[in-house]
Amino acid sequence: GFTDHAALGNEEWNPWEAEERSELAASQQRYEAGLKVIKNARAHLEQTRLRVQIWGKAAIGLYFWQHVLGGHLEPADVTAQWREGSQRAGKTYFSFITGPSVVPGYFSVEAENIVLVLNGREKAKTAYATQWLHYAQTLIQTHKIQHVVVVLLGNEQCNNDWIQPYLKRNGGFVNLLFVTYDYALVNEEDIFQWPLGVATYRNFPVVEPSWSMLHDPRSYLCNFLGTVYKNSSRETLMEILSQDGLDKLCWIAAREQWQPQETNESFKNYQDALLQSDLTLCPVGINTECYRIYEACSYGSLPVIEDVMTPGDCGNSSMYHSAPLQLLKTMGAPFIFIKNWKELPAVLEKEKKMSLQEKIQRRKKLIEWYRNFKAWMRQKFINTLENSFLPSDKG
């Protein structure tokens, strides 16, 4: 009351005192909460016992980081000279760097475990990849790093002999190799098959399925946008489509020469074709596995795959006996596999009779499978690294 204030004499009465007191208590609580967060983060860091830096020097690195590991990159601009990101998964802390400015010796090496994403498609690419391997080898020899893992865009005919001497099993320093295509030396011990994924070099995005993608009727039974090579099964495919007027029911845009440069318009066209067709035709190129398979999955368009082996050194490994596309088949991919394009008219006939409801169910199943496939690859990669590089907890 009034007398209390009078008793204070000359001391100034502070009507906000109670508020200040509670503010002080609140700030004390915030401070303690902050300490708790730091403590938890520290405990979490102690659980995060593996630090891995990924050097992305091939376009498949973006599929690996953004699509499989679900990581982000800064800046978002795909043409940036330098892009980076980081994230925790399991007991592992991953950081990722990519871009033309990532050059041996001109960036800080921030982990003892390195994942090197390389392109081994052709001679010029392997020469460049070799420079990176030599740089990693120097870091191993000078004890700057401990372990090296390679994720390799393999040769389309599976001619990957050049990498063999670098593997630990052959006296080299590369602990683990994850390689695309049906490489016969895949053994699930130190050599693993890795999915080709989508064409990130053409900026194919991470696609989030929308309601309309799953539920809307699609205008075309099938699509094929691509190059028709002379004397290839793609010529057979074109003949079959034109014979029965099936090309009227499908979105077909064939060209005679491969074009690496995608324009915004041609890319938009391609995405629309995937989004507007129930099936995506996947004829064999140089290898049976192609970006189109994964891109079709992203949009819920079921891949129809020509299930034949391509010439070269690809084939069954000691682990898998279902080449081609061993990895996808082992994971139960719900695709349509055909041995010859002459089987296509029957497939399309069946397609015409399907109700929208059946197609919706199939789309959901395909998109769900693809999500699980990527999650499985992510988990497999992380487990393989942790089992290989973390000290065993036994005894």
pLDDT at 147: 98
**219: closest CA among 279, 305, 267?**
279
Residue 263: band (very low, low, confident or very high) from pLDDT cuts 50, 70, 90: confident
pLDDT > 50? residue 277: yes
Residue limits of CATH 3.40.50.300 in the chain: 49-180
Examine residue 104 and say whether the peptide bond preceding it is cis (omega within 30 degrees of 0).
no
247 pLDDT more than 80 = yes
Q: What is the mean pLDDT of the chain?
A: 90
Instruction: Give CA–CA dist 330/193, Å, rounded.
Output: 11
* pLDDT tens profile 323-346: 899 999 999 999 999 999 999 999
pLDDT average, residue stretch 343-372: 97
pLDDT digits (tens, 9 = 90+) for 113-138: 999 999 999 999 999 999 999 999 99
pLDDT at 64 over 50: yes
Homologous superfamily of domain range 49-180: P-loop containing nucleotide triphosphate hydrolases (3.40.50.300)
> Cα(49)–Cα(89) distance, rounded to whole angstroms?
11
pLDDT value, residue 32: 77
What is the pLDDT at residue 348?
Answer: 96
The third-level CATH classification (topology) of the domain covering 205-372 is Rossmann fold (3.40.50)
15 has a pLDDT exceeding 80: no
In the chain, what is the straight-line distance between the N-terminal and C-terminal CA atoms, in Å?
71
Q: In this model, does residue 215 exceed pLDDT 90?
A: yes
Residue 293, classed as helix, strand or coil, is: helix
Burial class (CB in 10 A: 0-12, 13-18, 19+), 176: buried
CATH 3.40.50.2000 maps onto the chain at 205-372
Kindly state the percentage of the chain with pLDDT values over 90. Answer: 74
Q: Would you say 220 and 276 are in contact if contact means Cβ atoms under 8 Å apart?
A: yes
Q: For residue 33, name the pLDDT band (cuts at 50, 70, 90).
A: confident
Residue 1 has pLDDT above 90, yes or no: no
Q: How confident is the model at residue 7 (pLDDT cuts 50, 70, 90)?
A: very low
Model confidence pLDDT, tens digit, residues 142-200: 999 999 999 999 999 999 999 999 999 999 999 999 999 999 999 999 999 999 999 99
- pLDDT at residue 26 in the model: 76
Asked whether the CA dihedral 5, 10, 13, 14 is positive or negative, the reply is negative
Look at residue 272 in the predicted model and tell me its pLDDT: 96
Nearest to 337 by CA among 285, 295, 293, 294: 293
According to the model, what pLDDT value does residue 393 have?
59
Q: What is the DSSP letter of 161?
A: G
- Decide if pLDDT at 395 tops 50: no
* Confidence label for 3 from pLDDT (cuts 50, 70 and 90): very low
pTM value is 0.86
Q: What is the pLDDT of residue 321?
A: 72
The whole-angstrom distance between residue 105's C-alpha and the CA centroid of its chain comes to 27
Task: Pick 125 or 263 by higher pLDDT.
Answer: 125
Looking at per-residue pLDDT, the higher value among 24 and 76 belongs to 76
What is the rounded distance in angstroms from the CA atom of residue 389 to the CA atom of residue 395?
Answer: 17
Alpha-carbon span 140 to 174, nearest angstrom: 10
